[in-house]
Structure 1
Amino acid sequence: MQTKWAAPAIASLAFMPAAHAQSTMTLYGLIDEGITYVNSAQTGKAGGQLTGGPQFALTDGHATGVAGSRWGLRGAEDLGGGLKANFVIENGFMANTGAFAQGGAEFGRQSYVGLSNDSGAVTIGRQYDPLVNFVQPFAASGTWAGYMGSHADDVDNLSNTNRINNAVKFTSASYGGFRMATMYSFGGVAGHTAQNQIWSVAGGYTGAALAFGIGYLNARNPNVSFYGSTPNKGSAAVNNIGSFGSATSPQAYPVYAGYASANTLEIIGAGMSYTFGGTIVALSATNTRFDHLGSSAGPNPLGYTGSAAFTSIDLNARYRATPALQLAMGFDYTERGSVKGDDGAKYLQLNAGIDYSLSKRTDLYVLVAAQRASGTDSLGQPAVASIAGFNPSATDKQIAFRLGAMHRF
């Protein structure tokens, strides 16, 4: 009897994998390297005056390029009934040195796991916030100008300077071109549920020619929860946003580094684009507020109180001249109102880019950015130009150039 059933039973084993859930895994990445020039980069201070000079350097795309070098694994498992398990782990690295990017985090770009079905996906881990997902595609920095095309010091985070830890995120499926997403990041402080929490909500529409998006982000104790989300950052006792510099070191993020004591960070943004022929014209606007300055969230050496609010406007266009050649140009303007009786600050930046595709995976490109600053910046000094990815200028003007190569795999 046992022999009679043995052969059919053994034969059926050959077909069992077809009845099991199907899994996929993809290794992907890109390398973006380039030679950069900037006419003025700070080196420190002497006699109370900022010092600096021109600089040539070989840098990774994380610093000044179109896209930061990375590698990642993306996987999915079909659990049946339309349900799937998904994960992404993505490492950012500096191709010119081999070092980790994102402050030394091994998977600092993204690391999450989740479930999805026809309605959408729920994911948990380190992720992009919905504001970035839905508004970044309309900014020059999110499409062709890279990090150096950010609004001054990436004040509104549209270039993803900061990602969100400890986050639960829901992203809907597309319904007639409309999608939405919401996120909550746990602060994890015993007895203080709201401390260090972050939440965000956003939505948008993508059609054949017209697309638009809008989003909002709210971060409590942002010096720790938002700007302190990488291994090289510290507690509320230190400034995780930037640096006031020293006699032998440059400042960092002078546009808003002085506001580390904010109790709350709020960013709201919206953007839209229209495509006609080979041209895409895009417009975006954001408002970034550092509220309740003077809290215990971070140091406050200049004694700020109240709020600091930045408004940024970005108008850009790109034209596909041939299947291989893209030409692009953009203008962005950032303005901050008065804080503690100062005269506010203004930053005007022009961006231009040329991209030539040698193949579907390899590009050569040129980027140029020029910025002029005026007023008084967050460090209480005459505002200096500060193109994202470079050391701030020693003056109110800064011009940067990059010749880069990017390969995807």
Structure 2
Amino acid sequence: MKKILLALSVSGVACASYAQSSVTLYGIADVGFNYTNIAQTARPGGTPTGGSQFALADAHTTGLSGSRWGLRGAEDLGGGLRAIFVLESGFYMNTGAFAQGGAEFGRQAYFGLSSNYGTVTLGRQYDPVVDFVQPFTASGTWAGYMGSHPDDVDNLTNTNRINNSVKFTSANYGGFSAGGLYSFGGVAGSVTQDQIWALAAGYTGASLSLGLGYLNARDPNVSFYGNTPNKGTATANNIGSAGSATTPESIPVYAGYASAKTLQIAAAGASYALGSAIVGAVVSNTRFGWLGSSAGPNPFGYTGTAVFTSFDLNLRYRPTPFLQLGTSIDYTHRNSVGADAGAKYLQLDLGADYNLSKRTDLYALAVLQRAMGTDSLGQPAVASIAGFSPSTTDKQIGVRLGIRHKF
């Protein structure tokens, strides 16, 4: 009997020890049909050409949640300390290919320690500005990637992650929390080349929530936009392209600013809950400074600083527990750079999301955008809804019907 009791006791201790560690497999599958009234196919002689487009596409390009699978693990080390890790891989449902430029764990890959005071993690991660300000945007709550500010100029829809980074996120103290990140440039002989740092803070209350943050990236063409396997060195434009006689341009809103020595993003957001409705507002300022440096190509000979200021006012409403409706209006303004007169972008977002179950939903999104002025490629500004091929004119409409499943 003593031997049996001893065996059961040891078995119980082993089970308790095992229960203190966990690994979770999780993911999202999000695919749907896209339509745009006009999309570029080429830019022969500097004049965009194209036509309407209807396509099957993964949500990475335009939808609510880019398809992914991941592993999340935690081990209790005692005394309130835990070891944690996340490995998260993005992929395209319509082709099966890796997203994030072909990176195996391109969405997130980090390891760290968590305590009652906060969490320290190391690896490829989201920056704190995304963590604290994205929840107040239309794109971060119901409008998906196509609801980003033009070409996601302020990265609030998380187009770019941060490699080689150390990140701290504090615990929540009475609704207040904060975070900071530093990414090592790793360049011999220069501490600051290719480095990135960011700070952010927020407050979450019963009705009112607030967030603000600041990010500074040196040599952003390489450090910020060039950190996936399909990107190149400083001699390549890792932001976008002016297109050619056989290919369309990409990211025309700011692709011409690859030579910037610094990228600075400052953003603030707020939301207020009114029963079944939540009103959100965001303002962001994106600065491509010291244009003309050796950080990237500069075919248009830009100097000085390109400054984008974006405003986002959005509303989401749940008439029933199963249905969410959303609308937002975005306005983005860029200053004059060189001989151009600057650019303006006005965008309207509409969306509806219906839950078939706790894990599966159907949704519909529509974005209308108008561009004015001269864009970064030195041409009359064309509309460029994030995730779609740019328009050939100053107007563009994008529509998506999608289905999403979480596991």
Name the SS for the 1:181 alignment partner.
Answer: strand
Aligned counterpart, 2:380: 382
RMSD: 1.3
CA apart distance, 1:47: 4.5
Paired with 1:384 and 1:354, the residues of 2 have a C-alpha distance of 27
Paired with 1:18 and 1:126, the residues of 2 have a C-alpha distance of 33
What is the TM-score with the length of structure 1 in the denominator? 0.97
The one-letter code sitting in structure 2 at the alignment partner of 1:14 is S
- Asked if residue 79 in structure 1 is aligned to residue 60 in structure 2, the reply is no
**Cα deviation code 1:125-184 (max 9, x no counterpart):** 000000000000011000000000000000000011100000000000000000000000
Name the SS for the 1:144 alignment partner.
Answer: helix
Paired with 1:19 and 1:145, the residues of 2 have a C-alpha distance of 43
CA apart distance, 1:20: 3.5
Aligned counterpart, 1:175: 173
- Asked if residue 105 in structure 1 is aligned to residue 103 in structure 2, the reply is yes
Aligned counterpart, 2:32: 34
Name the SS for the 1:148 alignment partner.
Answer: helix
Aligned counterpart, 2:14: 17
Aligned residue runs from structure 1 range 244-393, under 5 A: 244-393=242-391
Q: Is the CA contact 2:128–2:200 (under 8 Å) kept in the aligned structure 1?
A: yes
Change (3 A) 1:77 1:307: same
**Cα deviation code 1:67-111 (max 9, x no counterpart):** 100111111000001100000000000000000000000100000
Paired with 2:266 and 2:54, the residues of 1 have a C-alpha distance of 36
- Asked if residue 225 in structure 1 is aligned to residue 219 in structure 2, the reply is no
Paired with 2:144 and 2:232, the residues of 1 have a C-alpha distance of 27
What is the TM-score with the length of structure 2 in the denominator? 0.97
Change (3 A) 1:7 1:283: closer
- Asked if residue 55 in structure 1 is aligned to residue 53 in structure 2, the reply is yes
Paired with 1:48 and 1:194, the residues of 2 have a C-alpha distance of 37
CA apart distance, 1:24: 1.1
Change (3 A) 1:315 1:7: closer
* Aligned equivalent of 1:196, options 194, 203, 211: 194
CA apart distance, 1:6: 8.4
Q: Is the CA contact 2:83–2:113 (under 8 Å) kept in the aligned structure 1?
A: yes
Paired with 1:107 and 1:11, the residues of 2 have a C-alpha distance of 42
Which is worse superposed, 37-46 or 114-123?
A: 37-46
Paired with 1:47 and 1:379, the residues of 2 have a C-alpha distance of 13
**Cα deviation code 1:207-235 (max 9, x no counterpart):** 11100100000000000000001010010
Paired with 1:11 and 1:209, the residues of 2 have a C-alpha distance of 51
Name the SS for the 1:86 alignment partner.
Answer: strand
Paired with 1:226 and 1:20, the residues of 2 have a C-alpha distance of 41
Change (3 A) 1:96 1:179: same
Paired with 1:69 and 1:315, the residues of 2 have a C-alpha distance of 27
Paired with 2:318 and 2:6, the residues of 1 have a C-alpha distance of 61
CA apart distance, 1:45: 2.3
CA apart distance, 1:16: 3.6
**Cα deviation code 1:380-406 (max 9, x no counterpart):** 000000000000000000001000000
Paired with 1:222 and 1:29, the residues of 2 have a C-alpha distance of 30
Paired with 2:29 and 2:382, the residues of 1 have a C-alpha distance of 31
**Cα deviation code 1:315-365 (max 9, x no counterpart):** 000110111111110000110000013100000000000111111111101
Paired with 1:42 and 1:258, the residues of 2 have a C-alpha distance of 18
Paired with 1:210 and 1:239, the residues of 2 have a C-alpha distance of 41
* Aligned equivalent of 1:234, options 232, 235, 239: 232
Q: Is the CA contact 2:44–2:244 (under 8 Å) kept in the aligned structure 1?
A: no
Percent identity, aligned pairs only, is 68
Name the SS for the 2:131 alignment partner.
Answer: helix
Mark the runs of 5 or more structure 2 residues left unpaired by the alignment.
none
Which is worse superposed, 37-46 or 217-226?
A: 37-46
Change (3 A) 1:232 1:13: same
Aligned counterpart, 2:125: 127
Paired with 2:121 and 2:162, the residues of 1 have a C-alpha distance of 12
Aligned counterpart, 1:96: 94
Which is worse superposed, 252-261 or 21-30?
A: 21-30
Name the SS for the 2:48 alignment partner.
Answer: strand
The one-letter code sitting in structure 2 at the alignment partner of 1:13 is V
Name the SS for the 1:14 alignment partner.
Answer: helix
Paired with 1:205 and 1:286, the residues of 2 have a C-alpha distance of 18
Name the SS for the 2:139 alignment partner.
Answer: helix
* Aligned equivalent of 1:396, options 391, 394, 397: 394
Q: Is the CA contact 2:43–2:249 (under 8 Å) kept in the aligned structure 1?
A: no
Aligned residue runs from structure 1 range 128-167, under 5 A: 128-167=126-165
Residue-pair matches, total? 405
Paired with 1:254 and 1:73, the residues of 2 have a C-alpha distance of 36
